[in-house]
């Protein structure tokens, strides 16, 4: 079976490629990134699909970033993610036998959704303001998938992972997600013998994190079982405050300075934990603990960014 992975060079894409290359000889993984295909171009996207003749398409391509990037590049986040989704889905209209795995984000759920957040919470309230453009793009991809399934008969699996982290993430100060951002800051502070590291926000928000390899294992599980659901949450069922997360990363990095929380930066959603009972009841569970995953991620960072 040919599996075409769009976004194969990113955090999620690289993990998926590793997973399916090791899973079974029946899978032939075809990698695609911006190096070979401009997903902002319908013509290039269509040509790639025609050439590859995939049995399965996994959409891991997206413009992503942390709270600062989402809040300062709002136009880019909605436009670029809409273009990616529209071009891939439209290019697949005439291939109803191709199974599609559409990877979304937990930020699609309303700010006021009851925690743990169920799939039924979708579209029941306003979005968290700092990343609403990205969220709207991901919500639109769900509606495109739904109408495509209804009108043309495609099999589409929409997965909503919780906050992901792991190797091949973007490690920098301004545009990173929280975990790679904290690893970057604390490692830099360690190397420079800094007295303190600034952490954006109060540290109070509660978040669920999952190693990206757990998401890949969930995709492998669902495809091996030939399971198809319109929408499934994929989470670790572990929740931690940003403050406690920062302390844990400090211990792993072995940074000796102080942590200074700057409350002038937005906290975002006060608590976000997914209800992953549907996929858990199917027989899949996350198996990489947060401490193990952070250690793995930091070791990868040291080897690849020094």
Q: Residue 117 gets which letter from DSSP?
A: B
- CB atoms near residue 221 (< 10 Å): 16
What does DSSP assign to residue 274? B
Place of tokens 């599609």: 100
Q: Pick the catalytic residue from 109, 134, 184, 298.
A: 134
Query: Is 134 part of the annotated catalytic residue set?
Result: yes
In degrees to the nearest 10, what's the CA dihedral of 127, 13, 199, 117? 40
Residues belonging to the active site: 134
């Amino acid at each position: 079976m040919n599996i075409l992975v769009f976004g194969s060079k990113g955090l999620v894409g690289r993990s998926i490629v590793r997973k399916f290359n090791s899973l079974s000889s029946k899978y032939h993984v075809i990698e695609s990134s911006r190096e070979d295909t401009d997903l902002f171009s319908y013509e290039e996207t269509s040509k790639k699909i025609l050439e590859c003749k995939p049995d399965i398409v996994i959409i891991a391509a997206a413009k992503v970033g942390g709270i600062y990037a989402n809040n300062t590049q709002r136009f880019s986040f909605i436009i670029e993610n809409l273009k990616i989704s529209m071009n891939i889905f439209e290019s697949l209209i005439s291939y109803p036998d191709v199974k599609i795995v559409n990877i979304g984000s937990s930020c699609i759920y309303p700010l006021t959704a009851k925690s743990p957040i169920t799939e039924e919470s979708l579209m029941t309230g306003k979005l968290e303001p700092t990343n609403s453009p990205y969220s709207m793009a991901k919500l639109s991809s769900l509606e495109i998938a739904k109408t495509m399934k209804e009108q043309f008969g495609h099999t589409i699996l929409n997965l909503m992972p919780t906050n992901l982290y792991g190797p091949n993430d973007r490690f920098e100060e301004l545009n990173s997600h929280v975990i790679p951002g904290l690893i970057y800051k604390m490692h830099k502070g360690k190397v420079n013998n800094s007295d303190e590291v600034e952490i954006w926000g109060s540290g109070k928000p509660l978040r669920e994190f999952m190693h990206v390899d757990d998401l890949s294992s969930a995709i492998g599980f669902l495809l091996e079982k030939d399971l198809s659901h319109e929408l499934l949450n994929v989470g670790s069922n572990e929740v931690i405050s940003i403050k406690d997360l920062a302390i844990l990363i400090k211990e792993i990095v072995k940074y000796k300075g102080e942590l200074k929380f700057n409350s002038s930066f937005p906290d975002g959603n006060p608590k976000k934990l997914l209800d992953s009972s549907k996929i858990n009841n199917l027989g899949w569970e996350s198996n990489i603990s947060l401490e193990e995953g952070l250690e793995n991620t930091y070791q990868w960072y040291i080897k690849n960014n020094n």
